[in-house]
Homo-oligomer: A and B are copies of this chain.
Amino acid sequence: MRALQAAGAKAESSPTTAARPGRKRDHTRDAVILESTLAVLAELGYEGMTIDLVAAHAGMARATVYRRWPTKVDLVVDAVTRLSQGDADVAQLPDTGTLRGDLLAMIRPFDDAQQQVRIQAMVSLVAVARSDHRLAEIAKDAGIGPWIHASRVLIQRAVDRGEYPPPADPDTLAEVIPMLCVSRALQRLPITREFSIGLIDGVILPALRGG
């Protein structure tokens, strides 16, 4: 977000970016820090997470972190935000022809162990939402919000093509998959393929048929 300011700069026209001597900030490190943030967050939660720990995990100094994100809250929000942007991208991809295939494709990324870390971290964001009022909405948008949106779009698409009748309460239905995955994460259980299938074939699709 902050880094995007310089993105649109048109070379020499902008005086701020044109003549900026000095060592350039190594933006490679941004991703490393965010990754470390998620790792520590997933393991120790928001409370147990320390800027020192994140910096050590990333192999750099605390100041290097603070130079990019002014507070712990900003860091966590940004980490989870970027995380969910990845989800959103993934969500737009699946188009298997059937809703069942689409939903399975949407959940699959969380099947592997690597992605487990991300869900664990995302769940921790709720702590921030409670403590910091100004970030409650951001947390909502950044956390499961995009995921819920993806669910809604996929379901709507299936309804539009006549695969299922329109549900009675589409908004609530769209929250089911993300929230039940969160539930798994809260219990520190992996999101297995069996769970995904049970969720889709045992809840979502029956609900659409029975509506």
Interface residues of A (CB under 8 A from B): 41-42, 44-48, 120, 123-124, 126-132, 136, 139-140, 143-144, 167-169, 171-173, 175-176, 179-180, 182-183, 186-188, 195, 198-199, 201-211
Give the chain B neighbours of A201 by CB distance below 8 A.
Answer: 168-169
Q: Is the Cβ of A130 less than 8 Å from the Cβ of B210?
A: no
Give the chain B neighbours of A136 by CB distance below 8 A.
Answer: 187-188
With beta carbons under 8 angstroms apart, the residue of B48, B175, B199, B206 that contacts A211 is B206
CA distance A47 to B126 in the complex (A): 10
Give the chain B neighbours of A205 by CB distance below 8 A.
Answer: 210
Q: Is the Cβ of A183 less than 8 Å from the Cβ of B173?
A: no
List 7 other contacts, CB 8 Å, given A179-B179, A209-B210.
A45-B128, A120-B130, A123-B126, A126-B126, A136-B187, A175-B180, A210-B210
Q: Is the Cβ of B47 less than 8 Å from the Cβ of A203?
A: no
What's the least CB distance linking A13 to chain B, in Å?
26
Give the chain B neighbours of A208 by CB distance below 8 A.
Answer: 206, 210
A-B contact pairs, 18 of them (CB 8 A): A44-B130, A46-B47, A48-B130, A123-B130, A124-B127, A127-B130, A129-B186, A140-B186, A168-B201, A168-B206, A172-B180, A173-B203, A175-B180, A176-B176, A204-B207, A207-B207, A209-B210, A210-B211
Give the chain B neighbours of A42 by CB distance below 8 A.
Answer: 130
Q: Is the Cβ of B120 less than 8 Å from the Cβ of A124?
A: no
With beta carbons under 8 angstroms apart, the residue of B48, B168, B203 that contacts A202 is B168
CA distance A208 to B127 in the complex (A): 34
